[in-house]
Amino acid sequence: MRSPSFNPPHRILMGPGPSDAHPRVLKAMASPLIGHLDPHFVGMMDEVKSMVQKTFLTKNHLTFVVSAPGSAGMETCLVNLLEPGDECIICINGVFGGRMVNIAERCGATVHKVETPWGEVTKVTQIKKALKQCPKPKLVALVHAETSTGARQPLEKISDLVHEAGSLLMVDAVTSYCGVPLKVDEWKIDAIYSGTQKCLSAPPGLSPVSFSKRAVKVLENRKTPVQSWFLDLSLVKNYWAGAKRTYHHTAPVSSVYALHEALSIVLEEGLENRWKRHQDVHKYLKKNLEEMGFEFIVKPANRLPNLNAVQLPKGIKDEAKLRRQLLDEFNIEVGGGLGAFAGKIWRIGIMGESCTSNHVNALVGALKQIL
């Protein structure tokens, strides 16, 4: 009996990720497989590392791509920087700050939580208060772009406070990378991780990360082994060490092909042009949604342009039914709420290749027909 093949439907991806992939990225994935230690692949890994440095706006030597999704990037940062008995401060204003707490506690660290209502951002005064209670934390961690709420966290003033305390600043940039301004060196970010499936518009499954010299010094002075073998940077960093790289694991070759092409597309467009495109399309989406009665839950000053969290027009009681209608009848995917916002909001993504006026027109036209 012949096994049935899988033929996925062609969707218009306007949820919290993944976003639509450029045809060049999809074509790259179909390239012939070569060995993960083949000289051609090794050379391409060097190019990927260089492009990640350019898109993170950093000169950090320890910059590479974890062979797993953004949550593994989060875990890479925490398990390498934290040891049992360490103290850290973690800011929570959505799902992913809470996830960082979970991982840090599994590392044996004492976590001091700075909690903020969902949809808002952590204030400088909250960090000052936390540093009075815990004056010498190993690290302070924040989510730059909270995917569950659409809030964008200002970092520069908080970074100054963290470094004055002699601590490391760790940042989740899964939803902000390549979509909004993100300046690793200028903002003195010590450890950062992202994902590939959002504003970068590559397939999910990889996590770009970068560590400052300050963070590397902490890694080198660990007293205990990293609790994860696969994510142990003392091992992984040698796999990204140029021509002398040593075997660590079998890289996801086709996914790295795709990432290489996606990064090339970003650099061809230019970071500042890309940031502006996301802002411009956001304004167009906002105008159309508000005319239909949608309301944004994040204040304008802290609103992500690429992940739009909105309350539905009054009178709509079953948001899930409406999302399913969009998917079934128009092939348009938008995201529902997570955690405290489940069943209460939509999360509309305009990220990377999904950030065009045509995407907005398709969504708005479909909604007008349904509503």
What is the average per-residue pLDDT within 89-95? 97
Query: Are the CB atoms for 160 and 126 separated by under 8 Å?
Result: no
The residue that leads in pLDDT, 249 or 276, is 276
Segment among 25-39, 74-88, 99-113, 231-245 with least mean pLDDT: 231-245
Domains of the chain: 12-16+271-370 (3.90.1150.10), 23-267 (3.40.640.10)
- What local confidence, expressed as pLDDT, does residue 34 receive? 95
Residue 234 has pLDDT above 80, yes or no: yes
Q: In terms of C-beta distances under 8 Å and separation of at least 24 residues, what long-range contacts does 212-219 make, across chains too?
A: 212/60, 212/168, 212/188, 213/60, 214/168, 214/190, 215/62, 215/81, 215/168, 215/190, 215/191, 216/61, 216/62, 218/81, 218/138, 218/168, 219/80, 219/81
* Residues in CB range of 251: below 8 A, 6 or more apart: 36, 41, 45, 67
Q: What percent of the chain has pLDDT over 70?
A: 99
- What local confidence, expressed as pLDDT, does residue 179 receive? 98
Residue 2 has pLDDT above 80, yes or no: no
With cut-offs at 50, 70 and 90, classify the pLDDT of residue 240. Answer: confident
Nearest Cα neighbor of 154 from 130, 129, 178, 189 is: 189
pLDDT for 341-370, tens place per residue? 999 999 999 999 999 999 999 999 999 999
- What local confidence, expressed as pLDDT, does residue 243 receive? 58
Q: Phi, psi (5° rounding) for residue 139?
A: -150, 160
- What local confidence, expressed as pLDDT, does residue 167 receive? 98
- What local confidence, expressed as pLDDT, does residue 1 receive? 59
In whole angstroms, what is the distance from residue 361 CA to residue 358 CA? 5
The overall average pLDDT reported for the chain is 96
- What local confidence, expressed as pLDDT, does residue 242 receive? 61
Q: Distance from CA of residue 195 to its chain's centroid?
A: 5
In whole angstroms, what is the distance from residue 182 CA to residue 155 CA? 10
Using DSSP's 3-state secondary structure scheme, residue 62 falls into: strand
97: Cα within 13 Å, side-chain hemisphere:
30
Give the CA dihedral 272, 365, 320, 94, nearest 10 degrees.
20
Question: What are the strands, taking DSSP E only, across the chain?
Answer: 12-13, 62-66, 87-92, 110-115, 139-143, 145-146, 151-152, 168-172, 191-193, 207-211, 295-296, 307-311, 332-333, 335-336, 346-349
- What local confidence, expressed as pLDDT, does residue 27 receive? 98
- What local confidence, expressed as pLDDT, does residue 218 receive? 97
Cα-based angle 352, 180, 58 (whole degrees, multiple of 5): 105
What is the average per-residue pLDDT within 240-246? 69
What is the average per-residue pLDDT within 118-123? 97
- What local confidence, expressed as pLDDT, does residue 62 receive? 95
With cut-offs at 50, 70 and 90, classify the pLDDT of residue 340. Answer: confident
Residue 136 has pLDDT above 90, yes or no: yes
In whole angstroms, what is the distance from residue 239 CA to residue 229 CA? 14
What is the average per-residue pLDDT within 129-148? 97
